């Protein structure tokens, strides 16, 4: 799954900051800074040598850190809506600590922190935030809302494997894959998804989904076997079509393919010439695979440079190949999927549900505009999953493995994240714990069958057709296999005819009392520290651990 963009363009609010005579010719002591408008009232904050010659206002400094022009930084706009990520949060935290000698708690960044509320907090010497300075996120006006979304009456459930860690050799390393696939085959799950990962212990069990797909074909009878995804620019499309045609025959026509463009330069040791043009290579490769699958011949240069027409053998069992495009948070990728008539594979690691809803709408619009039925487009969403009848057991089982998973998947402590060195171990653990708590509550299938209903219903409302349940993130295999029966119960409840959602049953899990309050106002209800935020603790080149 590839590339992520955090975006926002905001209205201009003029802000005046008078500092040491730098602004408007004021003559102030070098130990004072006067803040006006940002905090809503004039105030004087003692400090020493606050401003370097290159920056004259708090607003300018934050704008510089955020990578935006100062004029677009509205004082009461939550920084999260401007693309705040963990790396930028740490830079701002360090700035406040160095210049004001105040320790800004890391969790406040995801409590709708704005420049105005920060200035008020500095003025109070770190005692409290002003309730009037922090505003909830604005609601969209009807004319700006996305078009009506196509809801789904039923939703499919599949298993997805991705993250098993192969740091050390172990016996029976594919046991969970094989046994989980056999179980899903016997209990009417829709598919098993297999990734492609290279040259890293994280996901290191899965360098070749076609080989594993062939193994699953021999131990299952009805379940779909899906690549999620084939990183097509790394491979010759002829070989991709040939290999998967073999698996299609072994499975008697049960394979589907999701394609991704790749992101990690190291992976492209397999095809270095494709890296600068990976997007173009992806789409040309998709067309080549589709044509070869249909039995058409394509012309390629042979060993002497002569153009030669080739067809693939064995002939596929299925005449038509169903394809998915792996989509990250970029809305352009969703539009491209609709444009070529592909299905979509995506995840909440890259976007909150509200953003995903808009992108699904764009995807279906693109299908319609290019002659495809918008409602037949299939949207698959990956979710980390562990469902059990005991909520406390779920929390205890998944907490450590999932936090370890976050550390591994985003390489939090990798070299290149200089700002991270300024966090002590307690702050690091606090950030991870905070992320886990929000992710547990809002962005995964963690809980009981009843408590997870509201998540499933919301996904159905926005047009998700299938939940690909990622189960191999570190919980022991026996517990994972036992929990599949509760997942089956959730599947049955979610697709029961005439079912009414029991909102009270999930209230304890999605407990709004957890969310911080200021002046009696609930700050926000969508996760602001999903793993996308965490991964930006890295340098920008170290992001995108999921191959989107």
pLDDT in tens, 289-316: 999 999 999 999 999 999 999 999 999 9
- First-to-last alpha carbon distance for the chain, in angstroms, is 1
pLDDT at residue 86, as a whole number: 57
pLDDT at residue 94, as a whole number: 78
Look up the CATH number of domain 153-392+447-496.
3.20.20.30
Give the range with max mean pLDDT: 307-321, 410-424, 514-528. Answer: 307-321
Cβ distance 234 to 262 under 8 Å? yes
Higher pLDDT, 314 or 41: 314
Instruction: Kindly tell me if the per-residue pLDDT of 198 is higher than 90.
Output: no
Higher pLDDT, 160 or 348: 160
pLDDT at residue 498, as a whole number: 43
Average pLDDT of the segment spanning 172-201: 94
Instruction: Please indicate, yes or no, whether the overall pTM of this predicted structure exceeds 0.85.
Output: no
Short-list 7, 148, 109, 144, CA closest to 68: 7
Tokens, residue 504? 């009270």
| Among the ranges given (36-45, 255-264, 302-311, 463-472), the one the predictor scored with the smallest mean pLDDT | 36-45
Average pLDDT of the segment spanning 515-540: 34
Average pLDDT of the segment spanning 262-268: 86
Short-list 521, 455, 531, CA closest to 129: 521
Instruction: Kindly tell me if the per-residue pLDDT of 232 is higher than 80.
Output: yes
- Where are the chain's structural domains? 16-138, 153-392+447-496
pLDDT at residue 218, as a whole number: 98
Higher pLDDT, 349 or 521: 349
pLDDT at residue 165, as a whole number: 66
pLDDT at residue 548, as a whole number: 30
Instruction: Kindly tell me if the per-residue pLDDT of 25 is higher than 50.
Output: no
Average pLDDT of the segment spanning 250-257: 99
Instruction: Kindly tell me if the per-residue pLDDT of 8 is higher than 70.
Output: no
| HEC secondary structure over 354-402 | HHHHHHHHHHHHHHHHCCCCHHHCCEEEEEEEEECCCHHHHHHHHHHHH
Instruction: Kindly tell me if the per-residue pLDDT of 393 is higher than 50.
Output: yes
How far apart, in Å, are the Cα atoms of 203 and each of 123, 194, 222, 229?
48, 11, 26, 13
Give the range with max mean pLDDT: 102-111, 301-310, 424-433, 517-526. Answer: 301-310
Instruction: Kindly tell me if the per-residue pLDDT of 250 is higher than 50.
Output: yes
| Among the ranges given (161-170, 358-367, 392-401, 433-442), the one the predictor scored with the smallest mean pLDDT | 161-170
Cβ distance 62 to 92 under 8 Å? yes
Residue 99 CB neighbours (<10 A): 19
Residue 136 CB neighbours (<10 A): 12
Residue 194 CB neighbours (<10 A): 28
- Residues 6 or more apart from 48 whose CB is under 8 A from it? 30, 31
Determine the angle formed by the axes of helices 278-293 and 237-250, rounding to 10 degrees. 40
Look up the CATH number of domain 16-138.
1.10.1200.10
pLDDT at residue 55, as a whole number: 36
How distant is the alpha carbon of residue 505 from its chain centre? Answer: 27
**Rounded Cα distance, 171 and 522, in Å:** 49
Instruction: Kindly tell me if the per-residue pLDDT of 39 is higher than 90.
Output: no
- Residue 495's Cβ-side half-sphere holds a number of Cα atoms within 13 Å equal to 15
φ, ψ of residue 307 in degrees (nearest 5):
-70, 130
Residue 407 CB neighbours (<10 A): 16
């Amino acid at each position: 799954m590839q590339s992520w963009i955090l975006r926002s363009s905001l209205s201009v609010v003029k802000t005046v900051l008078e500092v040491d005579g730098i602004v408007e010719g004021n003559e102030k002591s070098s130990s004072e800074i006067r803040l006006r408008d940002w905090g809503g009232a004039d105030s004087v904050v003692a400090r020493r040598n606050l401003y370097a010659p290159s920056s004259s206002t708090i607003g300018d400094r934050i704008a510089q850190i955020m990578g935006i022009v100062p004029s677009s930084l509205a004082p009461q706009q939550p920084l999260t809506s401007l693309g705040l990520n963990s790396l930028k949060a740490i830079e701002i935290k360090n700035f406040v600590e160095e210049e004001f000698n105040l320790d800004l708690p890391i969790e406040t960044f995801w409590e709708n922190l704005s420049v105005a509320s920060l200035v008020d907090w500095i003025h109070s010497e770190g005692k409290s935030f002003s309730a009037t300075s922090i505003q909830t996120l604005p609601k969209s006006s009807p004319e700006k809302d996305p078009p009506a979304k196509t809801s789904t009456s039923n939703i499919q459930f599949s298993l997805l494997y991705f993250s098993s860690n192969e740091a050390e050799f172990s016996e029976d390393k594919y046991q969970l894959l094989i046994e989980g696939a056999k179980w899903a085959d016997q209990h009417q799950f829709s598919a098993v998804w297999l990734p492609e990962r290279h040259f890293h212990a994280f996901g290191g069990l899965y360098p070749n989904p076609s080989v594993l797909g062939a193994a699953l074909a021999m131990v299952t009878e009805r379940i779909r076997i899906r690549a999620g995804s084939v990183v097509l620019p790394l491979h010759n499309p002829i070989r991709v079509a040939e290999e998967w045609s073999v698996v299609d025959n072994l499975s008697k026509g049960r394979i589907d393919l999701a394609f991704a463009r790749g992101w990690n330069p190291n992976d492209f040791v397999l095809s270095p010439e494709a890296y600068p043009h990976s997007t173009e290579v992806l789409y040309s490769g998709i067309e080549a695979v589709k044509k070869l699958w249909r039995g058409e011949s394509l012309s390629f240069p042979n060993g002497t440079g002569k153009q030669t027409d080739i067809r693939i053998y064995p002939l596929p069992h299925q005449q038509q190949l169903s394809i998915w495009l792996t989509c990250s948070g970029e809305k352009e990728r969703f539009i491209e999927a609709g444009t070529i008539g592909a299905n979509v594979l995506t995840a909440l690691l890259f976007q909150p549900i509200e953003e995903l809803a808009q992108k699904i709408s764009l995807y279906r619009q693109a299908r319609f505009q290019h002659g495809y039925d918008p409602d037949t487009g299939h949207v698959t969403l990956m979710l980390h999953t562990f469902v059990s009848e005991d909520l406390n057991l779920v929390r205890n089982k998944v907490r450590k493995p999932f936090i370890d998973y976050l550390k591994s998947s985003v390489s939090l402590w990798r070299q290149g994240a200089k700002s991270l060195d300024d966090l002590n171990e307690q702050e690091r653990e606090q950030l991870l714990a905070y992320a886990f708590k929000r992710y547990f509550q809002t962005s995964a299938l963690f809980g009981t069958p009843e408590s997870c209903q509201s998540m499933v219903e919301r996904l159905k409302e926005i047009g998700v057709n299938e939940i690909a349940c990622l189960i191999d993130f570190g919980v022991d295999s026996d517990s994972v296999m036992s929990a599949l029966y509760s997942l089956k119960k959730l599947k049955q409840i979610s697709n029961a005819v005439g079912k009414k959602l029991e909102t009270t049953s999930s209230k304890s899990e999605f407990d709004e009392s957890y969310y911080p309050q200021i002046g009696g106002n609930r700050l926000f209800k969508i996760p602001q520290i999903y793993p996308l935020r965490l991964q930006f603790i890295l340098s920008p080149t170290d992001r995108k651990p999921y191959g989107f």
